[in-house]
Copies of this chain bind each other. A is one copy, B any other.
Amino acid sequence: MNHADEMAILGRRARAAARRVARSPGRQRDAALRAMADALEARTPSLLEANAHDLSTADAAGVTGALRDRLKLTAERVQSMANGLRQVAAQPDPVGEMLGEQVRPNGLRVGQMRIPLGVVGIVYEARPNVTADAAGLCLKSGNVVFLRGGSEAQHSNAAILTVLRDAVEAAGLPRDALMSLPSTDRAWILAMVQAEDWLDLIIPRGGEALIRFVAENARVPVIKHYKGVCHVFVDAAADLEKATDIAHNAKVQRPGVCNAMETLLVHAAIAPAFLPRAAERLRASGVELRGCPRTGALIDVTPATEADYHAEYLDLVLAVKVVDDLDGAMDHIATYGSDHTEAIVSENYSTVQRFLEEVHSSVVIANASTRFSDGGELGLGAEIGISTTRLHAYGPMGAVDLTTRKYVIRGSGQTRN
């Protein structure tokens, strides 16, 4: 049997489970989430044992540093997965909510009801905690999840999934609410992303190569997040202290993540006052600055190249550019931005308003750090990813973004003429 045929068998099981999960009461789904959390805690030793297997394979392959760290499970990390599931359980149920019921002139009542998407595929790498996070958000929103984790974490992922499926079944929901591919081969990813009859959405989480592979081969709709080249624009009317704090926080607080600032744009009128002060603060935290010639006239920087303004450094490196005005900043963002997150620092009402209205990145911020572009910080409880494509969801995605809305019409015998 080829992969597509095997995928169809798995897909049919997923669809059957999806009908049951979609009609389950929110209370039952929340109970399952809490049972999953309890089971992860209770069975921590078996998870660490499976993880040790993956770690020894990684060590034999010479994996070190950040990659090995992402792979590693500890009792604290298992605890943190469990807590995440409990937080998701505590959120309101997005399924079934009625939106905007109106009465038409013929007496028909027309509204929209939130329903699950159906079967959601998650393709991810390295971090085993995604297994629990994705399973939790998909179950919360009444979906079946189809997981494909990386081969480097295969024993950890399989162990976590077994624990979670046992808990889901004990809570009276189908084990098949949580599905996974039988193998981590690329050929299986291909079969999965082309299974448009069985999956409703694919969310790839990982490096740009993985995301492009999925996007280029998928027939199932994909929500993707390529990268975050986030900007902070310090306007002429910025409060210097807020601007310095925000620029420092956006770059330094956690430089390796997608919502960290990569380019600082500075209004020419405030650059002489702001740049020396900001540079001192950033350099004290070890940030390397690369700037345009106008920046170089004010502070000592490495000259920035075109590539610097496109770069997602994910490191303590910052591109700096002096711009003439708000339009110059917005033009730069339109040219080099990645539609992720941009912030303005300004006390001028009209300038802030124009920036918030006209910059069409997925998150736009006035007078706060780009680091707040995060599902947890925005009140979503947890996030399944950050979309930088505009269809369906834009920005951090929570459980509610794993739903769609069907029209519900209530009549009293109406016919059309």
Q: A residues bordering B, Cβ < 8 Å? A: 19, 22-23, 96, 102, 104, 108, 110, 113, 115-118, 196, 200-201, 215-216, 219, 221-223, 239, 241-242, 245-246, 248-249, 253, 334, 356-358, 360-369, 371-373, 377-379, 389-396, 404-417
Other contacts beyond A102-B379, A118-B390: 9, CB < 8 A:
A201-B391, A241-B413, A242-B412, A360-B406, A365-B410, A368-B413, A368-B415, A371-B415, A372-B411
Q: How far is the CA of A362 from the CA of B113 in the complex (A)?
A: 10
Expressed in whole angstroms, the minimum distance between the Cβ of A311 and any Cβ of chain B is 19
Give CA–CA (A40, B200) in the complex, Å.
41
Contact B379 A104 (CB under 8 A): yes
| Secondary structure dominating the interface of A | mixed
A215 CB contacts on chain B under 8 angstroms = 196, 219
CA distance A195 to B407 in the complex (A): 32
Distance in angstroms from A43 CB to nearest chain B CB is 33
Bound complex: CA of A215 vs CA of B219, how far in Å? Answer: 7
Q: Taking the full assembly, how many copies of this chain does it contain?
A: 2
A–B pairs, 16, beta carbons within 8 Å: A23-B358, A96-B357, A104-B378, A118-B390, A201-B390, A216-B219, A242-B413, A360-B406, A363-B406, A368-B412, A369-B414, A391-B391, A391-B392, A394-B404, A394-B406, A396-B407
B411 A363 Cβ-Cβ under 8 A: no
Complex contact A362–B406 (CB within 8 A): yes
Given the known interface contacts A221-B391, A372-B414, the answer about A19 and B246 at a Cβ–Cβ threshold of 8 Å is no
Tell me whether A373 and B407 are in contact (CB under 8 A).
yes
Known contacts A216-B219, A364-B409, A396-B407; is A416 also within 8 Å of B377 by CB?
Answer: yes
Which residues of B lie under 8 Å from residue A409 when comparing CB positions?
A: 363-366, 368, 372-373, 378
- State how many angstroms separate the Cβ of A186 from the closest Cβ of chain B: 19
CB contacts (< 8 Å) of A362 on chain B: these are: 406-407
- Output the nearest chain B residue to A367 by Cβ-Cβ distance: B411
A391-B117, A392-B391, A406-B361 as given contacts; A110 in contact with B378, CB under 8 Å: yes
Which of chain B's residues have a CB closer than 8 A to the CB of A96?
A: 357
